[in-house]
Amino acid sequence: MLRFAAIGIDHGHIFNHIDGLLDAGAEFVGYCPESSVPALVDTVRKQHPGVPEVSRDQLLADKGIDVVCIAAVPRDRAGLAITAMKAGKDVIVDKPGVTTFAQLDQVKRTVMETGRMFSVCFSERLCVPSAVKAGKLVAEGAIGRVVQTIGMGPHRLSAASRPSWFFDLDAFGGIIVDIASHQIDQFLFYTGSNSGEVVASSVGNFGTPQSPDFQDFGEVLLRSEQGSGYIRVDWFTPAGLPTWGDGRLTILGTDGYIELRKYIDIGGRDGKDHLFLVDGSGVRHIDCSSEPLDYFTSFVADVRERTQTAMTQHHVFEVCRLSLEAQQQATHIGGRKSA
């Protein structure tokens, strides 16, 4: 049985990793309680009372641990992943996997030298049933050839509950690196693109003057030989929305289009994971809430077989590269320019 541990419990996405691997049949054998968000560690304790708290060094030195999950402060994720890979572990990292080009180069070098896997869990595709269903429909040719993706990633700020690093540009890497990496992953995946280029990007601080280095808005225009993509991400989810964000994705094809309303349908339907398919036959609404998630099952198999079925290493690195380039090249608009 595959055995895994968790280090860097600084973001709630660590629970996607833990729950996903457990559902895939892996064994949770330890976690490091060091964290900038103690409440997250308390939740791990309550949910997994039989799992021991162990120092990072001990977990990394344990040769019986196959995989390490990492959701540390973003700027620390690459360094922890490199250390874990050098210790013989495969890693699942929360997005963003890297926050600088130097980190990306170091991760690439480590993967090549160690043969270990560096997988980034882009949860807005891999942990969302409607996004999984959309991938299957695209693969089946339900909308013909994909021409464009439009990805919207709004989030609720909830500033009072955020740790101090959340507003530190060096720590979170910028809004495009931090959030839009999700939508860049989706653009490459749904268009079937091995690579892409950044046509234009912008970031801004429109509503958070008390944190001048913070970015509460970002947008990216992407292009590849297969199609184009537009991305908008922000921290402007209003208090009246009964969830953290109205995340949406539109996939345009030559024979139809798909729209995902991932977390809520403000049109009035209950629940999450609403998929709308429009084609030559008409308009259909598909409830995807029971669609199985296969990323973690595939990842566990990849660890055993040394394959890349869950996600190719090239794809991970291309998402990281495009995110960093879009962030670096972004024009600053509206409000005070970040450092």
Q: Judge if 146 and 284 occupy the same domain.
A: yes
Please work out, in degrees rounded to the nearest 5, the angle formed at the alpha carbon of residue 109 by the alpha carbons of 108 and 111: 65
186 shares a domain with 111: no
Residue 198 is assigned to a structural domain of this protein: yes
Quick one: 129 and 31 in the same domain? no
Query: What element of type H or E holds 56?
Result: helix 56-61
- Distances in Å between the Cα of 32 and the Cα atoms of 47, 53, 91, 104, 130 are 15, 6, 15, 25, 33
Assigned domain for 90 exists: yes
pTM across the whole model? 0.96
Pair 151, 226 in one domain: yes
One digit per residue, the tens of pLDDT, for the chain of length 339 reads 999 999 999 999 999 999 999 999 999 999 999 999 999 999 999 999 999 999 999 999 999 999 999 999 999 999 999 999 999 999 999 999 999 999 999 999 999 999 999 999 999 999 999 999 999 999 999 999 999 999 999 999 999 999 999 999 999 999 999 999 999 999 999 999 999 999 999 999 999 999 999 999 999 999 999 999 999 999 999 999 999 999 999 999 999 999 999 999 999 999 999 999 999 999 999 999 999 999 999 999 999 999 999 999 999 999 999 999 999 999 999 865 544
Residue 38 CB partners (closer than 8 Å, separation 6+): none
* Same-domain check for residues 68 and 16: yes
Identify whether residues 199 and 230 lie together within a single domain: yes
Total tally of structural domains belonging to the chain: 2
Domain that holds residue 281: 125-293+325-332
Last residue of a domain, one of 61, 89, 121: 121
What's the CATH code of the domain at 181?
A: 3.30.360.10
Which among 52, 71, 73 is positioned nearest to 62, based on CA atoms?
A: 52
Identity of the residue numbered 325: E
- CB-based contacts of 234, cutoff 8 Å, min separation 6: 153, 154, 155, 175, 216, 217, 218
Output phi, psi for 271, to 5 deg: 80, -165
- Residue 64 sits in a domain whose CATH number is 3.40.50.720
Closest among 75, 58, 46, 82 to 5, alpha carbons compared: 58
- Asked if residue 279 and residue 134 are part of one domain, the reply reads yes
Residue bearing tokens 């079937």: 192
Domain C-terminal end among 121, 151, 173 = 121
Instruction: Identify whether 255 is part of a domain.
Output: yes
Residue 236, token pair as written in the block: 């402007």
